[in-house]
Chain A
């Protein structure tokens, strides 16, 4: 359900960089720990972009898995499948999240008028 709030945040970011140009495509990187449901995000994206230069644009999501390392023992970093932040090697709880919290707008594809000179 937070996908509506998140799509609005994405739209704000994209609009700032679009500078009134029509946007065709938005590339996003989303970490698993953000608990984003891609289909839900796409649904709300269609709604929040109505009557903006982003209307009809495609959201391309790259999902990053949650990788966690232990600070107490030398077990290899592991991928988190459930939200249990405990080391599978030593059972310790001093663990560090390496990836999985990302929520980045990577790039946008915009349409430029052929004759427009941008300085």
Chain B
């Protein structure tokens, strides 16, 4: 018996990246643009999507892949808007995965019906940490942060805030009722991810939702530009 050192020199997330690229190839083949939408639990991802779907996305046909540890509550809410929704639960593994990775998304793709949509919105599991690490083959990463979460969150979760090209600040209808310094949040986002696009809105009142709708439609158009 003797010991050997084996040189590996491999990114530990390479296996995930390889599968993400396979997903990417499938999306490109069907001319589907993909948004990976992330946030802490309860920031309002599903409510925002409901607000978006109330008026639709114009020519862009959306679909949703709904990631949850358990249950189909969010998928049921979105299905009311006649948008194809595929539920992807993560509770089969190690006590319920806290994020979606490329392989989980891959296993769900046959059910998504890529040929019937232009834009796939992947609603990730609510979590500001792990989802930031795992690419799934998306065109764009976006996140929702709500004003009830505190202005310091970009500094506490820089990995998440840096990886997203869009930060949607939700629940702004609550601003008159809480001690929240919106300018400080905006400064913190700018510090962690200079140049990130920031939108302010309220899924409840609909204020500012147009901006998110336009951004989503814009990502949807990217796939058409490729095709």
A positions within 8 Å CB-CB of B: 1-2, 4-6, 8-10, 12-14, 16-18, 21, 24, 28, 33-35, 48, 82-86, 93-95, 103-114
Contacts and interface: CB of A to CB of B under 8 A. Distances in A.
Contacts of B3: 24, 109-112
A107 B192 contact: no
Q: Classify the interface of chain A: helix, strand, loop or mixed.
A: mixed
Interface residues of B, number: 36
B94 to A, nearest CB: 7
Contact of B12 (A18, A94, A103): A103
A6 B16 CA distance: 11
A109 B155 contact: no
B12 A82 contact: no
Contact of A110 (B4, B16, B193, B195): B4
Contact of A112 (B4, B97, B101, B193): B4
Nearest to A114: B1
B10 A105 contact: yes
Given A4-B94, A5-B99, A5-B134, A86 B191 contact: yes
B193 A104 contact: no
B15 A108 contact: no
A17 B12 contact: no
A1 B98 contact: yes
Residue among B12, B101, B155 with the most chain A CB within 10 A? B12
A33 B94 CA distance: 26
Nearest 9 CB-CB pairs, A to B?
Answer: A93-B194, A83-B158, A84-B191, A2-B130, A105-B8, A2-B129, A9-B12, A10-B12, A5-B130
B14 interface: yes
A13 B12 contact: yes
Given A21-B4, A28-B12, A48-B94, 9 more contacts: A5-B130, A9-B16, A13-B15, A83-B155, A83-B162, A86-B194, A93-B194, A106-B8, A108-B8
Contacts of B155: 82-84
A20 to B, nearest CB: 13
